[in-house]
Amino acid sequence: MLALQRYREVLLRDIEALDTAALDWQAAPQAVSIGTSLLHIAAVEFLVMSAVATAREDARLSPDRALWSALQPGFARELALSPCTGQPCSHYADLLQRVRSDSEAVLNADWQPLSLEQAQQSVLGQLGLDPDQQRRLQAPLGLPLSIADGTRRESLILALIAHESYHRGQITQSKFLHRIATQRDGK
pLDDT per position as a tens digit, 90-112: 999 999 999 999 999 889 888 88
Note the pLDDT of residue 137: 87
The residue among 148 and 115 whose pLDDT is bigger is 115
Among 60-74, 78-92, 133-147, the minimum mean pLDDT is found in: 133-147
The percentage of residues in the chain with a pLDDT greater than 70, rounded to a whole number, is: 93
Provide DSSP, 20-71: HHHHH--SSTTSPPHHHHHHHHHHHHHHHHHHHHHHTT-GGG---HHHHHHH
143: pLDDT strictly greater than 80: no
The Cα-based distances of 25 to 28, 110, 171 in angstroms read: 9, 42, 11
Q: How confident is the model at residue 172 (pLDDT cuts 50, 70, 90)?
A: very high
Instruction: Say what the pLDDT of residue 69 is.
Output: 95
Q: Is the pLDDT of residue 60 over 60?
A: no
Chain mean position to CA 79:
14
Rounded-to-integer distance, Cα 162 and Cα 160, Å? 5
Would the pLDDT of 144 be above 70?
no
Torsion, CA 137, CA 139, CA 141, CA 145, rounded to 10:
140
Lowest mean pLDDT among 55-64, 103-112, 126-135: 55-64
% of the chain beyond a pLDDT of 90: 56
Contact assessment for residue 157 and residue 94, using Cβ atoms and an 8 Å cutoff = no
Q: What is the pLDDT of residues 8-51, one digit of tens each?
A: 999 999 999 999 999 999 999 889 999 999 999 999 999 999 98
